Amino acid sequence: MAEQIRIGVFVCNCGSNIAGYLDVKALAEYAKILPHVVFVRENLYTCSENGINEIKAAIKEQGLNRVVVASCTPRTHEPLFRGTCAEAGLNPYLFEMVNIRDQCSWVHMQEKEKGTTKAKDLIRMGVAKAALLKPQEPIQSEMDPRALVIGGGIAGMTAAMALGNRGYEVTLIEKSGELGGLLLKLDKLAPSGADAVAVARKQADLVRRHPNIHLLLSTHIDEVNGYIGHFQVSASTNGSKTQFGTGVIVVATGARVFRPAGLYGYDGEKVITQLELEEVFKSGAFAAKNVVMIQCVGARNDERKYCSRICCMVAIKNAIEIKEKSPETGVKVLYRDIQAYGTENEALLQRAKELGVIFIKYDPARPPRVEAGKVIVHHDLLGREIELPQDLVVLSTPLVAGEDNEAISKLLRVSLDANKFFLEGHVKLKPLDFATDGIYLCGNAHYPATVREAVSQALGAASRASIPLSKGVMSVEPIVSTLVDEDACRGCGLCVALCPYGALEIVRGEKGRKVRVIPVACKGCGICAATCYHHALSVNSYSDAQIGEQIRAFLEESA
C-alpha cells in the first residue's frame, strides 16, 4: 500500500523580518489548499522554543510524515529543524525548508504584494518537493585517531600541544629549521611585556618533549589525498620522503611581514619597519633621538585593501619601549586611524601619550613625505604642513599571506580569500573550520592576529578537531552524490575532474571503468550530477524527479 503523504507547513513571521514585508496570514491560508498539506501553522518565531514544540506536537498529533518550514536561511536553521523532526520520531531528511526571508521579504521590501506572490510560489514548490522526499540515514566512517598540524609558530605549537595533551598522536610539520615563527623576530609582547623569544622557546621545548608529538622540521608537504578520517600525507624532510595517515588537519602556517621596497625611502637603515626596529631593540643598538612612525604603509590601498589590525598596537608598544629606554627621544606616530581595541590596548595607548608620544592624524590623500633629516606631514587641525625632525623613520607594514598559501590550498582543496589568506567555512558558524570537513585553521594563516588571538584560535581549532577524533566514528549528512545508474556511467572521468572535494574516483570492475563516490568526502554540491550527460549520478534529496516536480509546480501556477 502506497504511503499517504501528510505534510505540515509552518510559516514564520520572524518578528517583523518577514511579517513586516509579506502577508504571512495569506501565505498560511494559501498553504492549506496545496496537495498533501493536512496541517498549517503560523508562528511568531518558528525557531523559538514554542515554535519547536509546536512542530513536535503536530508531528505526533497530526500524524505528519513530511514537514515544510517557510522562514529564513537553511544555512543557519535547517539543522535545528531537522533535529526537531528527529526528536519527534520523524526521519530528519523528510524535512524541507523554504527561504522566504532572504529570497522574498529582504529583497522585496517595497513590493509587498509581489513579494507575497513569490513566497507563495516558493512554498508551493517546497511542498511539491517534500512529497517526494525519501528517508535518509547518516553516513558513518571510522576515524584515524591522529592529527596533523602544519606550521610551527605559536598557533601551530599551541594546537599541537592541546591535541597531544588530549592523548592524540600529533605530527607537527614546520618548513623552517626551528620552531617559533614570527615570535623569534620580536622583542617584547604587549600588553604583558613578556620576552617574545623566551615565550617561543619555552613552548618549543614543551613541544619537543611531548610524548605524543612527532616533530618534522625543514619539512615540506608534497601531497595530501583522502578525506576526513582518512587523509594520506606525503612529505619531504631534507630530501627524505615520508608518508603517514591522519584523521584531521590543522593549518597554522602563519603570515609574513610586508617589505615596503620603494615606499618612503625604505632602506633598512634610516627607514626601517617595525619588525626591524624590534631587532634593533634586541641587539641593544638603539640610539635615535627623533623617531617618526608612519602607519598603514602598504595597507588599506588599492593593492591591499584590508587593515592588518595589529600594526597600531605594535607601533604603540614600540613607542612605549623607546620612551622607557630613552625618555629624551622624541617619538611621533603618524596615523590614519588607531586600532586599539580592548581595555588593555586602550590603556597602552593612554600610557604612550602620558610618556610623551605624539600622535598626528594624516590624510591618505596627502601622505607624509620623508626627506633628509625630516618628515613633512599635513596637520589637519593646524591646517598646514609641519616638519618633524627625524634620524629614524619606522614604517608600520601589514602582515601578508604566506608564500606557500596557494600551494597548500591546492594540496588540501581549501579556499583562499582575495588577499590569499585562508578562508573559513562561515564567518559566524564555522570561523575555525574550512568548508572541507576535517581541516581547521588558526592564527595568522587566517588573518592578522595578536599572539593572544592566535593562541585562542589555536585552542579553538584543536577543540574543533577533537570532536571527530573523540567520536572514533565520523557521521556525515547523507545529502551526497550517489551512482543511481551504474550501466549509464561511461567512466569518462569528467565528474572526477570537476569535483572540488576529491569525492569521486574512477575504478575498474566487472563492468569496466565506473565512477565511485566517496560519501564521507562529498559535500553534496551537485556539480557531478549536473555534469553527467548520461544522468548516472544524482544527489540525495535533490533528485531529477524532485527538482522536476518543483519546476512543474511553479509553471502550473504561472500558467
Going by C-alpha positions, the residue among 398, 396, 379 that lies closest to residue 387 is 379
Q: How far apart are CA 554 and CA 559, in angstroms?
A: 9
- Residue 163 contacts residue 466 (beta carbons within 8 Å): yes
pLDDT mean for each 10 residues of the chain (559 residues): 89 95 97 97 95 97 97 91 97 97 96 96 97 93 95 98 98 97 95 94 98 98 93 95 97 97 96 97 95 97 95 97 96 96 94 97 95 95 94 98 96 95 90 93 97 97 96 88 94 94 91 93 92 94 94 81
The CA distances from residue 274 to 180, 185, 333, 338, 414, in Å, are 19, 11, 12, 16, 32
Task: Kindly report the length of the chain.
Answer: 559
Going by C-alpha positions, the residue among 420, 444, 402 that lies closest to residue 258 is 402
- Report phi then psi at 297, rounded to 5: -85, 110
Whether domain 477-540 has CATH 3.40.50.300: the reply is: no
- CATH topology identical between 146-256+400-474 and 477-540: no
Q: How far apart are CA 440 and CA 464, in angstroms?
A: 8
Could you please report the per-residue DSSP string of 29-45? HHHTTSTTEEEEEEES-
User: What's domain 259-397's architecture?
Assistant: 3-Layer(bba) Sandwich (3.50)
> Using alpha carbons only, how large is the chain's radius of gyration in Å?
29
Q: What is the pLDDT of residue 559?
A: 47
Going by C-alpha positions, the residue among 385, 303, 300 that lies closest to residue 337 is 300
Q: What is the pLDDT of residue 477?
A: 86
Cell of 378: 599635513
Long-range contacts of 448-451 (CB under 8 A, 24+ apart): 448/255, 448/308, 448/309, 448/310, 448/398, 448/399, 449/155, 449/309, 449/310, 450/310, 450/313, 451/154, 451/183, 451/189, 451/196, 451/199
| Residue showing cell 520523524 | 90
Whether domain 146-256+400-474 has CATH 3.40.50.300: the reply is: no
Whether domain 7-136 has CATH 2.60.40: the reply is: no
Domain boundaries, the chain: 7-136, 146-256+400-474, 259-397, 477-540
- Residue 377 contacts residue 360 (beta carbons within 8 Å): yes
Going by C-alpha positions, the residue among 297, 300, 346, 355 that lies closest to residue 326 is 355
